[in-house]
Structure 1
């Protein structure tokens, strides 16, 4: 697989998001998930993404176990900042220096590693100014516990304030055919040399055309997501059908078209771009990797670009 640089960090052209292996997307299976991570590495996917909040630490433990004998083959990213200890209804986005340090130590322990390659602030902090948070993250770099720093879901002002404290390697934001908010930030990212890591590039699975909206159980948060439920979910099926039509012309799957569209935006946006589609099954992993070979025509891209205007419902 081709490699790409996010700042000074070289990673695989496609990453693997591991959140769904532990939470939010229905029941998971430990052995199946680890087999999927191992298969990803065999296919050249070496950029592995997790967070301390996924499954209340479960996901970092799972990823750590999967990588215990493969650590030197991957670039490991994790995140901190979302404190769910008081329950989901009282969650806080924290960034005090002491909390940053404790979070990193806990992640290192759960992952079973000495160093985190890319350490993200998961969301803009509510309990500290960004300068305090990134300052503490910078100390982790100086201590050798973290190699590079990232942010997630920030605006231009926060990115620039953070970058003034310490260089930022990547911003992780939701980005796909039906979620394009991150494009507003890319001019500043290009200026600063910051890469984009799109999460949910398949629209949380919606754009694959494989999600049965009537069978999302109480362990799958999409059942309550505004874009998936009720009239909005029905209306958004038109987007899926349009993606499927392009897929039929190309002889590929809808998910591969959705991913190929994301890859096709890199030159236009002017930033290094590494999506991290999430899956817990080898079948879908292999399909996602194959999307790297899909080339969309100008006609395809023109059709797909219009779909962003048809979305019904908020992201959350």
Structure 2
């Protein structure tokens, strides 16, 4: 049996593609540096919107099969990032995509109809226990997941946040279900975020170039979505600009979900590297390590002996 890496990162995400959008560059960087990266995905994203016309038949309201297809997409994306340890919470298909609808205020909310086998209705203890077992096996020093709003309000993102935070607590309790493994206390927990200053600078560059459709409706000087955090709330920025193209190539593998002619791909290399290659985090648990001249940790493992 091979010896596990000294430094180990665990990420908990709701659907395939969330991991690459949020932390693809960080994952690629840490893999390249020989650190351990484990990804847990909570659902197969069966209710995602299919953006490729020739694959529209996979949608849940047509022939179905999107979840199995996205299983292949995430495998391809992770192979690009170099991540070899991927788990489905409770096993593939244990919990289904809950779906969502858009609120008038521009964020996601729970759909009018949610099936009983959806992740939103998962037995909380059962879902947490499935993650506790992984935590105790992998023994990560760092956990990354969503904030309490799930970034933009998607119920599965919110549930992933809740399950991850609860499981992190339970995993550290010596008397809690010893059959799930030896207790493990995760030293540092972060919520993924996007830097307000970087987002505004990138939007400004896009608008000045004449692009009014990418991130349509977002004003460089106006209100921004919830997942964009003020720089004062951010504690770490992992600069992985050299892995930006790796991240974007991994995103291309999620072809049913990501439009390659806009959004992530419309930015010039210079702007794109700044916004997609430098990923921001809010610290939730643990002591901040050494920071740079801007007051940010540059490594999620900073301060861990």
TM class by smaller structure: 0.3 to 0.5
With normalisation by structure 1, the TM-score equals 0.35
Higher helix share: 1
Task: Give me the TM-score of the superposition, normalised by structure 2.
Answer: 0.35
